[in-house]
């Protein structure tokens, strides 16, 4: 596993996903973070998740790995050195309660093993990445399919917003948002993270 510093996540960055959860479409990037303790690599193993806090939903995302310090004017292709596909796992029932109370989402988004990442590969650039879909296959059935060309806020907007407000440096990750099709996980679900036809990670879910 890489030495990861910060984990930033973009919420509601695909219009159809925002609609499926009955959320408004944001007018500026909507970010939250996860602690590094949430990070786990999908390397074919069992990944344990909490069984006593309601449903755990999968949200499949393209993840950027930052390769150098952000400075104003830098492009995505200059800043990002690697990428992967991963899961922003969410305690959906907990999140719904937090939303009602207008509380931060950390309890729903930051639990152990809630940031699942596949194997990192070289980032080929924004335009090349638009030519491939990413997907999640659950128990041999594709359940999510996305393409960054459908982002509400494109990758350049995301890195500029994040760099300006929080800073970005080598070792940071950005989860760029999930498309429609999110749903609950079950005990012994077998998951495969796909970039085009290439599998970047796999795991088996275990609730304890």
Res 17: pLDDT: 66
- Distance between CA atoms of residues 179 and 181, nearest Å: 7
Res 26: pLDDT: 81
pLDDT in tens, the chain (208 residues): 678 999 999 998 998 765 666 667 788 999 999 999 999 999 999 999 999 999 999 999 999 999 999 999 999 999 999 999 999 999 999 999 999 999 999 999 999 999 999 999 999 999 999 999 999 999 999 999 999 999 999 999 999 999 999 999 999 999 999 999 999 999 999 999 999 999 999 999 999 9
Res 15: pLDDT: 83
- Pick from 97, 99, 72, 77: which is nearest to 11 by CA? 99
- Hey, which bits of 60-129 come out as E strands? 60-66, 80-88, 90-91, 115-117, 121-122
The number of residues in the chain equals 208
Domain residue extents for the chain? 6-207
Helix (H) or strand (E) holding 164: helix 155-165
- Pick from 154, 164, 187, 182: which is nearest to 64 by CA? 154
pTM over 0.75: yes
Q: Which residue(s) pair with 134 in the sheet? A: 146, 195
Res 25: pLDDT: 79
CATH pick for 6-207 out of 3.10.129.10, 2.40.50.140, 3.90.850.10, 3.40.50.2020: 3.90.850.10
Res 18: pLDDT: 59
* Residue 86 main-chain phi, psi, to 5 deg: -155, -175
């Amino acid at each position: 596993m890489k030495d990861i510093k910060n984990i930033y996540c973009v919420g509601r960055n695909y219009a159809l996903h925002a609609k499926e959860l009955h959320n408004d479409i944001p007018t500026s990037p909507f970010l939250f973070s996860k602690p590094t303790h949430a990070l786990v690599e999908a390397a074919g193993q069992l990944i344990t998740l909490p069984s006593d806090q309601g449903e755990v939903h999968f949200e499949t995302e393209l993840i950027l790995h930052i390769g150098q310090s952000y400075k104003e004017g830098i492009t995505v292709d200059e800043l990002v050195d690697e990428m992967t596909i991963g899961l922003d796992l969410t305690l959906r029932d907990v999140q719904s309660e937090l939303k009602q109370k207008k509380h931060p989402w950390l309890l729903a988004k930051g639990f152990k093993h809630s940031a699942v990442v596949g194997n990192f590969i070289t980032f080929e650039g924004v335009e090349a990445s638009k030519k491939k879909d990413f997907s999640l296959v659950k128990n041999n059935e594709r359940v999510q399919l996305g393409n960054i060309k459908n982002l509400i806020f494109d990758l350049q907007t995301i890195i500029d917003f994040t760099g300006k407000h929080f800073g970005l440096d080598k070792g940071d990750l950005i989860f760029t948002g999930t498309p429609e099709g999110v749903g609950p996980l079950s005990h012994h679900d077998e998951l495969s993270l796909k970039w085009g036809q290439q599998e970047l990670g796999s795991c088996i879910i275990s609730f304890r």
